[in-house]
Amino acid sequence: MHINFKYIWKRLRHLFAPQKRDKESKDALPQPWLKHYDLGVPDKIYIPRITLNDIMQHSADIHKNRIAFRFFGKKFTFHKMESIVQCFAAAFHDVGIRKGDRIALLLPNTPQFLFSYWGALRIGAIVVPINPLLAGREISALLDIVNPKIFIALDSIYEKIDQQKKLQKIDHIILTAVDEFMPTLARLVFSLQRRRFGKSGKTKHLSGIQFKNLAKKRPLLSLENVRPADTAALIFTGGVTGIPKAVELTHQNLVANLLQTRAWLGDIRDGHDRVMGVLPFFHSYGMTTCHHLAIQVGATLIVEPRFNVQRIIRLIKKYKVTIFPGVPTMYRAIVDVISETKQRLDDVRVCVSGGAPLSATLKREFEQLTSSKLVEGYGLSEASPLTHCNPLFGKQKPGSIGLPCPNTQARIVHIKTGETVPPDTKGELWVKGPQVMRAYWKNEAETRKVLSADGWLATGDIARMDQDGYFYIIDRKKEIILSGGFNIYPSEVEAVLLMRPEVKECAVIGIPDNFYGEIVKAFVVLQRGKLCEEQDLLAFCRINLAHFKVPKNITFVQSLPKNFLGKVLKRNLIQSTNTSSK
């Protein structure tokens, strides 16, 4: 027997030699959060150099005959889905789409979205999902940023933008109807509803390409050389604070965040879970925690284009949904309905809430009516999106976004100096990890504002970290009110207003003032049937807030403007206030 002593010596020398420390490890920050990870969740996970295509094809091989997704009762196995994806890849290739070209999708959660998405990735194209709820002018502005070669849209949505001249630059516009892949009975019902509202039952085909015929192309088996570092998707930021930008996410970014999410949730059962897919796939939150996660773990994705609480409850019970990522407004609606009817949703096991703060009361009520763990997480499109989450089984702190996920560094820095601040000190949250974006698409100036040379992403959120490493979001950096030399955090004022039982919701903004610079203004939605005077709320604020934080006036409204994730659009409130004051 030949013994390679040279190899053994090299291995022993490596094991016992002092480890070299690079600059980053030398300057490594404390990570107190690691000791609070759930048992079995590592501080670092192995992230292979693979693409999303590799994940899709692996699941198609392993889970061939399992159901990949359901849509209004129609089911598609992983094998069937993979076959259709290959056909779509061939169709895109045949009309001249090549690696790096953009394909824009103006689609809700539908089979059309899934087939187009994965078909585009298969040939190295870049997917550009767009929010179908936007106005025609807004959609045209986004298309102008990315210049897609193909634009795929629902016919009913396309009607609001077909007059825009910018669409003339696009090589191919392909329209589809939401019922195109529904089973026969569902299509009949949907068709009758369209006619009832005066809509045509026929779908226009502007470029001579019928969407359903894309699935009939010969399969494309030979692929372009798609690499982990290639851009996979351009995700537009929510626009809560300003002009939208396209976040450039690579295959490696999205694979990393998918594996980080899976590692954190822990209680995932390959090939046996059912995931509720009602979060929009055009947003990074729904894309990673619903769409990508379901594909990677061989789960059945229940594809729903919109949230209707009665229907969602029926589907959860019918298909025994086990994983349900959502937003607080969804969980609140479900709690209100099932508590009234004395129902339970015992199959739901894992729920992650994002997009807006999750109250301790809602968390408790939802968990009591289900068998699930409901945890609050945090992320942003620039990080694919997940960076923080509360432990599924360990200590959860009310009001906290939780702990940084595996392979993720986080710190709180001084807003002006950029220096790391001590625990329990307010500052801006910075994060770093393999999930952080490459850049804003073709926008170097904006990229430099948020992304440092060594990979730290400035989130724009004011936060603090406690002694245990749990993080808390205080406010948006851009929403801080500067009044008379004082920094006022809107969330602090909102928290006091919400202490009053009459107040259902509220939002606080700063409005221009010649003397103070800005003054505090509050918008309040009252509980149904409750009455409250402005002076009563102001008096309450004076008792519970420093004098400079007390609102100068309060406006009562029926509702607050929100985006699709339930986040209050404060810029709309600012615009309406500025308009009315002119």
Q: Of residues 62 and 225, which shows the higher confidence score?
A: 62
Q: What is the mean pLDDT of residues 317-332?
A: 95
| Span of 28-37, 245-254, 433-442 with lowest mean pLDDT | 28-37
| Span of 88-102, 148-162, 441-455 with lowest mean pLDDT | 148-162
- Pairing assessment for the beta strands 231-236 and 350-353 based on DSSP bridges: unpaired
CA dist., res. 517 & res. 387, Å (int): 35
- Are 299 and 254 spatial neighbours (Cβ–Cβ below 8 Å)? no
* Residue 378 bridge partners (DSSP): 388
Percent of the chain with pLDDT over 70: 89
pLDDT on residue 342: 84
Instruction: Give SS3 for 87.
Output: helix
**CA angle, 312 as apex, 308 and 317 as ends, to 5°?**
160
CA dist., res. 364 & res. 384, Å (int): 28
End-to-end CA distance of the chain: 91
Intervals of CATH 3.40.50.12780 along the chain: 73-226
pLDDT on residue 240: 37
pLDDT on residue 126: 99
Q: What is the mean pLDDT of residues 470-493?
A: 88
- Are 486 and 548 spatial neighbours (Cβ–Cβ below 8 Å)? yes
CA dist., res. 112 & res. 119, Å (int): 10
Q: What secondary structure does DSSP assign to 197-211, as a single string?
A: TT--SPPP-TTS--H
pLDDT on residue 514: 82
pLDDT on residue 12: 46
- Are 277 and 291 spatial neighbours (Cβ–Cβ below 8 Å)? yes
- Are 128 and 148 spatial neighbours (Cβ–Cβ below 8 Å)? yes
Neighbours of 103 (CB within 10 A): 26
Q: Quote the tokens at residue 502.
A: 């009459």
CA distances from residue 7 to 16, 18, 20, 82 in whole angstroms, order as listed: 15, 19, 21, 44
pLDDT on residue 164: 65
CA distances from residue 327 to 279, 293, 563 in whole angstroms, order as listed: 8, 17, 11
Q: What is the mean pLDDT of residues 208-212?
A: 78
Intervals of CATH 3.30.300.30 along the chain: 480-581
- pLDDT tens column, 518-547: 999 999 999 999 999 999 999 999 999 888
List the one residue out of 359, 316, 368, 319 whose CA is nearest residue 339: 368
pLDDT on residue 208: 60
pLDDT on residue 16: 43
Q: Of residues 20 and 323, which shows the higher confidence score?
A: 323
- pLDDT tens column, 242-295: 578 999 999 999 999 999 999 999 889 999 999 999 999 999 999 999 999 999
- pLDDT tens column, 280-315: 999 999 999 999 999 999 999 999 999 999 999 999
- Given pLDDT bands bounded at 50, 70 and 90, which one contains residue 2? very low
Percent of the chain with pLDDT over 90: 70
Q: Of residues 131 and 194, which shows the higher confidence score?
A: 131
Instruction: Give SS3 for 554.
Output: strand
List the one residue out of 438, 495, 479 whose CA is nearest residue 570: 479
pLDDT on residue 23: 43
- pLDDT tens column, 499-521: 999 999 999 999 998 888 899 99
CA dist., res. 153 & res. 376, Å (int): 33
Reply yes or no on whether the pLDDT at 11 is more than 50. Answer: no
pLDDT on residue 100: 97
Q: Quote the tokens at residue 315.
A: 């589907």
Rounded mean pLDDT of the chain? 89
Contacts (Cβ under 8 Å, ≥6 apart) of 267: 349, 350, 373, 392
Reply yes or no on whether the pLDDT at 141 is more than 70. Answer: yes
pLDDT on residue 524: 98
CATH fold for the domain made of 73-226: Rossmann fold (3.40.50)
List the one residue out of 250, 119, 240, 107 whose CA is nearest residue 181: 107
pLDDT on residue 340: 87
- Are 353 and 331 spatial neighbours (Cβ–Cβ below 8 Å)? yes
CA dist., res. 9 & res. 4, Å (int): 9
CA dist., res. 69 & res. 84, Å (int): 13
pLDDT on residue 163: 66
- pLDDT tens column, 64-100: 999 999 999 999 999 999 999 999 999 999 999 999 9
Architecture of domain 480-581 in this structure: 2-Layer Sandwich (3.30)
Length of the chain: 582
Tell me if the bond preceding 385 is cis, omega within 30° of 0: yes
Q: What is the mean pLDDT of residues 30-38?
A: 96
CA distances from residue 111 to 90, 251, 512 in whole angstroms, order as listed: 17, 21, 47
Contacts (Cβ under 8 Å, ≥6 apart) of 261: 288, 289, 293, 386, 405
3-class secondary structure per residue, 438-504: CEECCCHHHHHHHECCCCCEEEEEEEEECCCCCEEEEEEHHHCEEECCEEECHHHHHHHHCCCCCEE
Reply yes or no on whether the pLDDT at 197 is more than 70. Answer: no
Neighbours of 459 (CB within 10 A): 22
